[in-house]
Structure 1
Amino acid sequence: MSRFWTLMSGLYQLAGPITMLLYPLYASVVAIESASKEDDQQWLSYWILYSFLTLMEMLLQPLLEWIPIWYEMKLIAVAWLVLPQFRGAAFIYNKFVREKLIKKYYPGIGGGNVSGAYYNKSSSPNGKMKSKLVDLISPKKSS
């Protein structure tokens, strides 16, 4: 019976890294090589959300240590983001993140419809879709 619990303990310890890192890494490579843009959106959204979750976890570590089932809750949430049956990462990105960004920086684009459509450069008022965030993080050319 002790071998069974040893096996279960090992599987439990591997569940997080496999669910949160290995499978998403594999699926991201497959998405890059495919012609579809839909899977690209899913996996880019996943990595955005996973990075945010990891950052929040680092900042809130002292509080999260007091929640006994935090790891299990995180594992279930990440599984929902990752599993192709749910496409949770794309859902969260389209419903919350993208909606806030488009409404804040490009209120006239698409009539407020941000349901996952890709916007082209000609849809911005001045013909160039330039994000303030991209301007902020991109290096400036020195004259």
Structure 2
Amino acid sequence: RQRFSAEMGPYWYLMPTVEGTWRGLGGSDRGAHIAQLMVAIPVAGLVWWLFRRASYTIALAGMLVGAFLVTPHAFVYDLPLMAAAILLYLRTLPSSDTPSYGAALLAGIAPAVVLATPSLAPLAVIAHAILFLMILRTGGLSKSVL
């Protein structure tokens, strides 16, 4: 584990995950694991909730986005899953819901921005979290809860 951390030093920005972001910002191994766990547990529960309450399409989109929030070692080459999640999410929206289209577009563009500018790496995790919240809202989680 320590060897992996040492070798990853300049490349943490290639991991659009909570752990990758934490480590890229200079955080410790222990802090990264705690932050990852604090995100993973509620996200896993919310994905379960989506599969119990929402349509299959929106639940699948939530699972794909949730995978990036739960998994500590996803890399940028795993991001096609995010594109599939965005397409599934957009499929559930009425054509008049322009703000949601814009936010989904942001989630899709954020990883490309991160690759071009490593200092903006935290944007990828933030974009994933925003998209996940939008999926939860579309899936029926009350606006008052979010």
TM-score for the superposition, normalised by structure 2: 0.31
- Structure with the larger RCO, 1 or 2 (CA within 8 Å, 6+ apart): 2
Q: Max radius of gyration: which structure?
A: 1
Of Structure 1 and Structure 2, which has the larger fraction of its residues in helix?
Answer: 2
TM-score for the superposition, normalised by structure 1: 0.32
